[in-house]
Amino acid sequence: MSFAERMLKIDRRIIFLVIGLCTLLPLLYPVGLPIKVSPEVRGVYEHIESLPERSVLFLSFDFDPASKPELHPQAIALLRHAFKKNLRVIAMTLWVSGTGLADQIMTQVAREMGKENGTDYVFLGWSPGNTAVIINLGQDLYKTFPSDYGGKPTKGLPVLDGVYSLKDITYLVGLGAGNPGVEAWYVFGKDKYRFEMGGGCTGVMAPGLYPLLRSGQINGLIGGLRGAAEYESLIDRKGTAVAGMDAQSATHAAIVLLVIMCNVFYVSLRSQQGRG
């Protein structure tokens, strides 16, 4: 067995250990490398920045705990920004298992920024029906959600003053981890009800949303933990995403190194076989 062959056959648990350490060490001993902001993230930030006070921002938290590390910080950063700008926030989720997370995010940030439920924001909760919910919201918000998450009737809530359907909202940001997600909000929402919209998504979804970004169907995109970190640095409130960036750097470097090693061994192995 040649050296290359032996190296390729090492127990994968050693690699597990390497990647575990690459994540753990930067988390324990952060370096704080600077983060550059991409135009995609800036798109969402600047649009929110341009909105007048009391504009209606609609946030849909379409993710579950599996994507919490990526989308939770995005949601927190967006909410902090919106509350700082004194926007009215309507939030909901299309993913049943995301209800608890969405509720936590809303209560936590609202408490921290001193915002009042019903006046400054409302959390509508979850509803089944996926895309049908989006259309129904575009037709009549009060029919889709007769009551909010806490069971209070939505009709007459001060935060919903002048809002009858998706046609009346100023900006929508869908935070999606899959389907239904950002695309569904475009196809079944914006396509007909014509509001401005931006998106946030997991790293896995992000490359697939670039055609929509180019065509202006969404005016900004926050992609994965990196996107969240960019947003955090834009609003100048460093949170978990910025804290995770060093570990992200280390793991990426490790993976790149592993891929290179793998291919070096592979090529040397092949040339040996070619000679033999």
Partner 1 sequence: MILLRRQLPLVITLVTGLGMAAQYYVPHPASEGLLTSVTKWLQIIGGFALVLGVTSLFHVHAVKIRRQEAGWGYSVVLYAGMLGTIAVGLWANGKESIDGVMTAFGWVYSYMMVPLQGTMFAILAFFIASAAYRSFRARSREAAVLLAAAVIVMMGRVPLGEYILPLSGDVSQWILNVLNASVRRAILIGVSLGAVALSLKIIFGVERSYLGGGKE
Partner 2 sequence: MPFESIVGAWVATGLTLFIFSFLYKDNPVFKVAEHLYVGVSVGYTIVKTYDTVIVHLIWKPIVENHEWMLLIPVFIGLLMLTRYVPKASWLSRYAFAFIVGVGSGLAIPRTISSFILKQVEDTIRPLLTLVPGEGVSFTWNLLSPASGVNAIIILIGVCSVLFYFFFSVEHTGPGKAVARTGVFFLMIAFGAAFGYTVMARMSLLIGRLTDLIEFSDASYGRPTLWLLVVTIGLLIVLGRRAQREPPQES
Partner 3 sequence: MERETYFVKRTRGTAGPFLKVMMVLAALVGLASPVPAQTVSLPPHELRVFDTPSDGGGSLTVVWPPAPHDSKEVRYQVLLSEGAEDGDPSHFKVVDEFSSNTHYVRDSKWPWWTRPAGPEQHHATIKNGKAVELKSGNTYAVALAVVAGEQRIFSSVVQAAPEPNWFNWNQLNNLLLVLGFGGIVFFAIGLAKKREMFLRRIPGLDAVDEAIGRSTELGKPILYLTGAHDMNDPSTIAAAVILGRVAKRAASYETELLVPHREPITMAVCQEITKQAYLEAGKPDLFKEDSNFFITTDQFSYTAAVDGIMLRKKPAANFFMGAYFAESLLLTETGASTGAIQIAGTDSDHQLPFFVTTCDYTLIGEELYAASAYLSREPVQVGTLRGQDIGKAVILGVLGLGTLLATAGVALDVQWPQLFLDVFKDVK
Binding site for partner 3 (CB under 8 A): 9, 162, 191-192, 194, 204, 208
Q: Is 127 in the site for partner 2 (CB under 8 A)?
A: yes
- Do 235 and 84 contact (CB within 8 A), yes or no? yes
Encoding tokens for residue 5? Answer: 């062959």
Shorter beta-carbon distance to partner 1: residue 54 or 149? 149
Site for partner 1 in 203-262 (CB under 8 A): 207-208, 210-211, 213-214, 226, 245-246, 248-256, 258-262
Distance of alpha carbon 33 from alpha carbon 52, whole angstroms: 34
Helix (H) or strand (E) holding 93: strand 88-93
Distance of alpha carbon 167 from alpha carbon 235, whole angstroms: 28
As a whole number of Å, the end-to-end CA separation of the chain is: 13
Site for partner 1 in 104-123 (CB under 8 A): 104, 107, 111
Among 54, 68, 85, 238, the residue binding partner 1 under the rule CB under 8 A is 68
Using CB atoms within 10 A of its CB, is residue 183 exposed (0-12), middle (13-18) or buried (19+)?
buried
* CB half-sphere exposure, 48, CA atoms < 13 A: 29
Distance of alpha carbon 201 from alpha carbon 169, whole angstroms: 21
Secondary structure letter of residue 94 according to DSSP? S
Encoding tokens for residue 73? Answer: 């910080």
Q: Is 37 in the site for partner 2 (CB under 8 A)?
A: no
Q: Is 252 in the site for partner 2 (CB under 8 A)?
A: yes
Q: Is 129 in the site for partner 1 (CB under 8 A)?
A: yes
Site for partner 1 in 154-183 (CB under 8 A): none
* Residue 240: CB minimum distance to partner 2, A: 6
42 binds, among partner 3, partner 1, partner 2, none (CB under 5 to 8 A by kind): none
Among 55-63, 104-112, 122-130, 260-268, which window interacts with partner 2 (CB under 8 A)?
A: 122-130
Encoding tokens for residue 217? Answer: 């169907």
Q: How does DSSP assign 187-220, residue by residue?
A: IIIIHHH--EEEEEE-TTTHHHHHHHHHTTSSS-
* Residue 113: CB minimum distance to partner 1, A: 14
Q: Is 83 in the site for partner 2 (CB under 8 A)?
A: no
Distance of alpha carbon 32 from alpha carbon 255, whole angstroms: 20
- Helix, strand, coil share (%) of the chain residues, nearest 5: 60, 15, 30
What are the residues binding partner 1 (CB under 8 A)? 8, 12, 15-16, 18-20, 23, 33-36, 38, 64-69, 96-97, 99-101, 103-104, 107, 111, 127-130, 132-133, 135-136, 139-140, 143-144, 149-150, 192, 207-208, 210-211, 213-214, 226, 245-246, 248-256, 258-263, 266
Residues of the shown chain interacting with partner 2 in the complex, contacts defined by CB under 8 A: 13, 16, 19-20, 23-24, 27-28, 66-70, 72, 96-97, 99, 125-128, 131-132, 135, 146-147, 151, 186-188, 191-192, 202-204, 206-208, 211, 214-217, 223-226, 240, 243-244, 247-248, 251-252, 255
